[in-house]
Each structure stands twice: as structure tokens, then as C-alpha cells.
Amino acid sequence: MTTNRTTHFGFTEVDEDAKAGMVHGVFSSVASKYDVMNDAMSMGIHRLWKDAMMDWLAPQPDQKLLDVAGGTGDIAFRFNARAKDQAEATVLDMTESMLLEGQKRPEAAEMGDRLNWVVGDAMALPFADNSFDVYTISFGIRNVTRVQDAITEAYRVLRPGGRFMVLEFSAIPTPAMQWAYDRYSFNVIPKLGEIIAGDRDSYQYLVESIRKFPKQEVFADMIRKGGFELVKYRNLSLGIAALHSGWKI
């Protein structure tokens, strides 16, 4: 006899098969206000975190980037701008409405055929083995149903010598600071979602999903389990977010 496997959708336990559709519903709902909400929730600091990601990544000419859960293109635009004319970025997201919002941005028109927009699943990437030099995922991996499967797929599509980098919300190591951040998250962010995006529930989920994501050391071990080497992480803003890096050797 078989039983359905379950996972978390925020603080709610759900069937694994149901989570992807529920996450799709969240991002379909908030797509048109996604960028505005990012600025409101973080007071613009997410832009500094993404710049820090690029600083550590150090994009190079001729590299091919796969940005998974790439949404409206923030990371791909930064990557191509840093790497100059020869680089190419593929933005993959399971929610087409997010990609459509990204394609409306002026950077998309400026970069033209250096950008590809693909609807797809992080756990079953529609690309051949050894296809990319860099894989990034920014504030998206915690929404994946089976995170370890996504890491395995990242390893598969990267070329030998390729770089895996994750930017994700994390845990503040100082309990008092984490307590204060929790108060802000649970009391302010869903309310902002209600006011700006007309969707309190989606932002309640986003806040809850952060608390269910593995802490820094645990997630680093998951990256190592996926085959990556030279795995390191850096805390940003006291640990509110963290950058994780690994190499396919």
C-alpha cells in the first residue's frame, strides 16, 4: 500500500502533488505587483542583496546563465549588464505571468536576444546536461516542493567548472534580532500585501515559507549532498538573507 507524501505550504501540511499548483496560484496573483512589493517589504534592500550576489558571482563575458524561479528578470538583467555583450541569460519560472511582467521591463527590450524566457519546473529542467556556466535562484528555492531534487537538477545542467548560487531568506543567529524580525514579518508584510497587491494570504504564505526553510548550515549540507564542492555561504543583513555558493568540479 502506498501513501501520499506531504510537504509544507507555509505552516500548512499539504500533499506534495498539490504544492506546485498552490505556489503557482500565489505568484499568478501577485505578479503585477511583485516588484513593487519587493521594494516595500525590504525597504529596497533586496536590490543591495542582489548586487551582493553579482559581486560574489563576478559574471564573465561568454558565460551562459540559467536563472531559475527568475520571475521578472532582476538577476538576469544584472548578470548580463555585468558580463557585457557576449553573455546570455535564460530566465525560467513556473509562472508565465511573472515572465510576462519581466518582458515588459525596459531592460528586456535593451538586451533583446541575450535573454530567453522559459516556463518550466526547477525539479525537471527542460535543458540538456552540461548546458550552463552559472545557475542562480533568488528567493525561489524555498517554494520548490522537493528542494534536493532542484539542487540535483542544477548540478545536472551545469557544465564542469560551473557555479551554483542561491540567494534566499534565512535565519538570524541572534535570537533577540530574530524575534524582532519575526514581529515585523508577521505583522507588517501581510498587511502590505493587502494594501499594495490586494492579497494578504499570498504574503502570509511567503512569510511562513521563510520560517520553514532550512537554516544556513543545513542548507549548505544539502548543496554538498547534491554533488557540489567548495560550498560556502555569506549572511546578508545579519542573516535575514544568505548567499550560498557551490561549484561543479
Ordered strands of the 241-247 beta sheet: 115-119, 88-93, 64-68, 132-138, 158-169, 241-247, 229-236
Q: Which long-range contacts (CB under 8 A, 24 or more apart) does 103-112 make?
A: 103/73, 105/72, 105/73, 105/77, 107/73, 107/77, 107/81, 108/73, 108/77, 111/77, 111/80
User: At what angle are helices 34-42 and 16-30 packed, to 10 degrees?
Assistant: 90
Hey, what domains does the chain have and what are their CATH numbers? 6-174+201-247 (3.40.50.150)
Residues in the chain: 249
For the chain, how far is it from start to end, CA to CA, in angstroms? 41
Cβ burial of 235 (10 Å; 0-12, 13-18, 19+) is middle
pLDDT, averaged in runs of 10, over the chain (249 residues): 69 83 77 77 90 97 96 94 90 94 94 95 98 97 95 98 97 94 92 87 88 95 98 97 97
- Residue 139, by phi and psi: left (phi above 0), alpha (psi -120 to 50) or beta? left
The reported pLDDT for the residue numbered 86 is 83
Rounded to two decimals, the pTM is 0.90
The confidence score (pLDDT) of residue 89 equals 97
b vs e for 136-160, b when ≥16 Cβ sit within 10 Å of the residue's Cβ?
Answer: bbbbbbbbbbebeebbebbbbbbee
pLDDT at 213: 94
pLDDT recorded at residue 173: 93
Q: List, in sequence order, every residue forming a beta bridge with 164; answer none if it has no partner.
A: 135, 246
How many CB atoms neighbour CB 184 within 10 A?
12
Predicted pLDDT of residue 1: 38
CA dist., res. 92 & res. 76, Å (int): 10
Q: What is the pLDDT of residue 6?
A: 87
Q: Sign of torsion, CA 194 214 45 165? A: negative
